[in-house]
Amino acid sequence: MPTANIVGREVHLNDEGFMTDPSEWNEEIAAFLARQIGIDPLTNAQTVELCVNFLYLIREGWLLLTEILLAHFEIFVQPVDFFLCFSLQDICQLKA
């Protein structure tokens, strides 16, 4: 499995260059990657926006998966609304 050194930390990547181990993610890496795409510094508002967008993608993927399971395999899985499970502050671990 490929690895990369990001801000002095060795991180594992898949063949497409995406990080594969969530435990290797931290604020320092997030800030570095944000600067690579022109976001500097990473503000709390941008952090919230990234978290919300990430959760939206997870939710949409889950809903699509439940539709596929029902349509093709007749397996019903209860959809989960991630936005009701946690407060945004819990998810993003923002400091007041």
Contact call for residues 41 and 32 (beta carbons, < 8 A): no
Instruction: Give the predicted TM-score (pTM) of the model.
Output: 0.44
CATH of the domain at 10: 3.30.1420.10
One-letter amino acid for residue 83 of the chain: F
Same domain? For 92 and 50 the reply is: yes
Statement to judge: residues 48 and 94 lie in one domain: yes
Let me know whether 71 and 96 are in one domain: yes
pLDDT in tens for each of the 96 residues of the chain?
A: 789 999 999 999 888 888 888 888 888 888 888 888 887 776 777 777 887 788 778 878 878 888 888 888 887 776 655 555 555 555 555 444
Is 48 in the same domain as 74?
A: yes
Are residues 62 and 84 located together in one domain of the fold?
A: yes
Regarding whether 49 and 11 lie in a shared domain, the answer is: no
**CA distances for 82 relative to 6, 17, 60, 75, 92, angstroms:** 30, 27, 10, 21, 13
- For residue 87, what are the domain limits? 43-96
